[in-house]
Structure 1
Amino acid sequence: MHSRPRIAIIIGSTRPTRFADVPAQWILKQAQARGDIDVELVDLRDHPLPFFDEVASNLWMPSQNPEAIRWQQTVGRYDGYIFVVAEYNRSITGALKNALDQAYTEWNRKPFTAIGYGGVGASRAVEQLRLIGVELQMVPTRSAVHIGGADFMTVYPMAGNRPIEEIEATLLPSATAALDDLVWWAKATIAAKAAEA
């Protein structure tokens, strides 16, 4: 068993004009400052997944598409996840939903949290993500980070376009809570899986 949970920050938008890199880099900085997890960025842009077209989920049979297999190997290396969530029409992006569908066994019994952004801080999208995660046998944390309202308009490029550090004071309490939850559940699930082995 490794000493610290390995966590992937999964950037869930692939649009050329995405805002996701700003919150992704910010939460990466917060996670790296802790010292109790190892964290890496995983960008969906680096995984050109087809729309899910396998005969069945890899819960039931191995995937055939090489990109799907590479994606499964990537996410399978981690003990937990932080999803960077944009809200599109009250849900997560199609790219993120497709990426979630392309794996199953690799997500099982692993925790996740999220940092969401948009008018309402992607709260509806994060709720959708939690529902999907439960079906994938993941452990969603109660806490998440939501960049919404005036804070979002302060940092969004088409509005205030200010550095995210200007709203950091309002984000830090929820980031601390979300990361605390994630680390606790990652350690708990790692220990439980080790005991089963």
Structure 2
Amino acid sequence: IATRRGDAEYEIVDIADFDLPLLDEPVPPSMGQYANEHTHTWAAKIATFDGYVFVTPEYNHSTSGALKNAIDYLYAEWNNKAAGFVSYGSASGTRAVEHLRLIMAELQIADVRTQVALSLFTDFENFTTFSPGAHQESSVSGMLDQLVAWSNALATLRAVSEDQSTAA
């Protein structure tokens, strides 16, 4: 769906490709003093985007530990950007997204209202093969519409923040 749109560039980023161990930085990410090469690589990738679509399963009413760990590695790279969510689980992953929305607020990420919530019972065959209902396409389109609008709207704020950090 995203590739058919002409309003933004989309890229799939798989956190597994970054080989991030459990958070191992000696100082909090908000300090921006990354000691490890894997953190620098992750930070460089995340900093390039104006917005994000987080895809998350729901485990025990929350997001996955791997996603939370990857988010926790960084701070400034996330700031003043927008986020949308695609979730899946037996309850469509909605509780995982509610947890992520709290995290986004701390990271100064504006999360959009529309969420794509996929049920393991109706949007997957045998709980493994992705087979979404036709109604999900409008959910994806609506979420991406909001994400692009918010990402564009926050561009001025990102520019001001960058100017202030280079002047400091």
1:77 maps to what in 2?
48
Give the aligned partner of residue 132 of structure 1: 103
**1:40 matches 2:8:** no
Q: Percent identity?
A: 36
* Aligned position for 1:99: 70
Q: Tell me by how many angstroms 1:150 deviates.
A: 3.5
Match of 2:166 in 1: none
Residue 105 of structure 2 aligns to which amino acid in structure 1? V
- Give the corresponding residue for 1:183: 148
CA distance in 1, matches of 2:59, 2:133: 24
Paired with 1:117 and 1:48, the residues of 2 have a C-alpha distance of: 24
Aligned residue pair count: 162
4+ runs deviating over 4 angstroms: none
User: What amino acid maps onto 1:67 in structure 2?
Assistant: H
CA distance in 1, matches of 2:25, 2:6: 39
Per the alignment, residue 25 of structure 1 pairs with: none
| 1:126 partner letter | V
Cα contact 2:80–2:110 (8 A) shared by 1: yes
* Unpaired segments ≥5 residues, structure 1: 1-29
**Maintained 8 Å contact 1:57/1:101:** no
Change (3 A) 1:54 1:149: closer
Q: Give the secondary-structure state (helix, strand or coil) at the position aligned to 2:62.
A: coil
Q: Distance in 2 between matches of 1:44 and 1:132?
A: 17
Aligned-partner residue type, residue 148 of structure 2: V
CA gap of 1:191–1:61, structure 2 versus 1, over 3 A, is closer
Unaligned runs of 5+ in 2: 164-168
